[in-house]
Structure 1
Amino acid sequence: MNPNEPHNDQEIIVHDEEVEQLKQGLPKTMFLNKIELEKYQGFWYSFNTNMLKSILMFQRHFQARDTDLIIASFPKTGTTWLKSILYSVVNRFKHPIKQSPLFSNHPHELVCCLEYDIYRDAFEYPRPHHLNELPSPRLFHTHFPYMTLPESIKVSGCRILYITRNPLDTLVSMMYFAMKPIKELVGEDVELPSIEDYFEDFCEGKFINGPFFEHVIEYWKQSLEQPKKVLFLKYEDLKKDPILHLKRVGEFVGMPFTESEEREGVIKEIIEFCSINNLKELEGNKSGVINKIYDKKSYFRKGEVGDWTNHNITPAMVEKMKKLMQEKLEGTGLSFQLLPH
């Protein structure tokens, strides 16, 4: 039985009774004192959107191909940028930049998120995205930590590109991104959480898909143990030397850039096309929503390293974050750059 083919309801449905029974035993907390989170396999989720059912469906029924390429990330760490880069690198012969589907399609529409696009609201299966009909290499994305991924991803030859970002820029980006859904959840008249609220919850690990450092370290360790399986990328490094890291992406996915492509400026063309300033001006990103909630244009704000300095993050908060980074990352060989060099 191929898990990616449509089946009858009895074969594929995760029943609500099972989900509710599992939910009852999960630890709970509040995010920003407004949104209930529940902890599953060590990480926090908001299960009021049917996410637990999505996780169970994803874990039990997704069958990875050896040729699959999967972007993994903590929210607001450069996912949209990497989606546009990966799509452009993989499809550069089929769709040269001047003919790119990215002109009219948001990156999240071209590189589907497994838990939100494929397995969300599992009772509606089969989803519009018929996985067995997609040509190889299939491009997917997930915000799930490594431990939560289906076993087929871990044991197959598929490859994972993980992107991360310094924690202060991550929480600032999340603060802006979450404004609209929080207003819809708690009402327009309710005072929005402050940056101090986000900071405290972030440091305590009470973040959607958090804790942040544990999420990052899982993939970092896998990239050291399985360098052909997991490519670990930092947002700040991509900004500093995009040519070098686009070459790394090309090599990793088995589509290295040739010398003639370098001479012809193909790499630079992809970098310029996939820049945040360019992407936000494309028609496919100016209007409409993703997942019925998020404005397409909200995925393109600034994209600057060190933008957190433009917000009310105090020296005491910076010092606390530095100590937390030292504590969490000690002995891993991993570090973060808070400001551009």
Structure 2
Amino acid sequence: MDVFISLWLFTDKLQNQEPFPLDKVFDKFCRGICIHGPFFDQVLGYWKASRENPDKILFLKYEDLKEDISCQLKHLAMFLGVPFTEGEEKQGVVEEIAKICSFDKLQGLEVNRKGLFVTGIPNENFFRKGKVGDWSNYLTSAMVERLEKLIQEKLDNSGLTFQLSSTASDV
């Protein structure tokens, strides 16, 4: 649910007024009132489309990338029609791409430390820790519980799952 936290930070910086309180933004997110519409409807729409058209739509989850980046890069290359050759794999091309595209590398780029998003929001606001489940550390225990129930309810019987973490400390 790192998307929620990013939306909150984005919304927070978008306004030329006092930041929106997290609890208010969180409530709107849970009720499907977001800048870009109901989050779960959109995600499930893409998920369903990727199941119906696996040759045209690749659905990647951050959790999967963090778990096994090499496997996911090979899958992406295959999807794009340019699979890695045996020689490229032996030469460590996959691992080199993983290193170049790593969270730490991207976070450290000058454009991401000093640049601005098109809305004027500093790019650095879109980077936190790059850890799966870190979103729960930005929410109260009650918020984490509410969000986990909502995720279970919205994604039930869809085949789509997210790695959840109930280790939030009260914020």
1:318 pairs with 139, 144, 153, which one?
144
* Matching of residue 265 in structure 1 with residue 92 in structure 2: yes
Aligned 1:120-139 pairs, distance under 5 A: none
1:336 aligns to what?
A: 162
Aligned 1:1-341 pairs, distance under 5 A: 167=1, 169-182=2-15, 184=16, 187=17, 190=18, 192-314=19-141, 316-339=142-165
Structure 1 residue 322, shift from structure 2 partner? 2.4
SS in 2 for 1:302: coil
Structure 1 residue 215, shift from structure 2 partner? 0.3
Structure-1 separation of matches of 2:52 and 2:80: 18
Change over 3 Å in CA distance of 1:321–1:299 after alignment to 2: closer
Question: What's the Cα RMSD here?
Answer: 1.9
Q: CA deviation digits over 1:297-317, x for unaligned, max 9?
A: 333332221112322322x32
Q: CA deviation digits over 1:270-305, x for unaligned, max 9?
A: 111111211122233332322151223333332221
Structure-1 separation of matches of 2:139 and 2:152: 22
- For the 8 Å contact 2:11–2:20, the answer to whether it is kept is no
Change over 3 Å in CA distance of 1:336–1:292 after alignment to 2: closer
Q: CA deviation digits over 1:144-164, x for unaligned, max 9?
A: xxxxxxxxxxxxxxxxxxxxx
- For the 8 Å contact 2:40–2:154, the answer to whether it is kept is yes
- For the 8 Å contact 1:195–1:313, the answer to whether it is kept is no
Structure-1 separation of matches of 2:108 and 2:148: 36
- For the 8 Å contact 1:172–1:195, the answer to whether it is kept is no
Which protein has the bigger strand share? Answer: 1
Structure 1 residue 254, shift from structure 2 partner? 0.6
Amino acid at match of 1:328: K
Structure-2 separation of matches of 1:292 and 1:225: 35
Which protein has the bigger helix share? Answer: 2
Structure-1 separation of matches of 2:9 and 2:24: 13
TM-score (normalizing by structure 2)? 0.87
Instruction: Give 4+ residue runs of structure 1 displaced > 4 Å after superposition.
Output: none
TM-score (normalizing by structure 1)? 0.46
Structure-1 separation of matches of 2:90 and 2:145: 45
- For the 8 Å contact 2:136–2:144, the answer to whether it is kept is no
Structure-2 separation of matches of 1:233 and 1:263: 25
Structure-2 separation of matches of 1:174 and 1:218: 19
Count of residue correspondences: 166
Structure 1 residue 174, shift from structure 2 partner? 2.2
- For the 8 Å contact 1:276–1:303, the answer to whether it is kept is yes
Q: CA deviation digits over 1:57-115, x for unaligned, max 9?
A: xxxxxxxxxxxxxxxxxxxxxxxxxxxxxxxxxxxxxxxxxxxxxxxxxxxxxxxxxxx
SS in 1 for 2:128: coil
Structure 1 residue 267, shift from structure 2 partner? 0.9
SS in 1 for 2:59: strand
Change over 3 Å in CA distance of 1:281–1:322 after alignment to 2: closer
- For the 8 Å contact 1:223–1:231, the answer to whether it is kept is yes
Structure-2 separation of matches of 1:259 and 1:195: 49
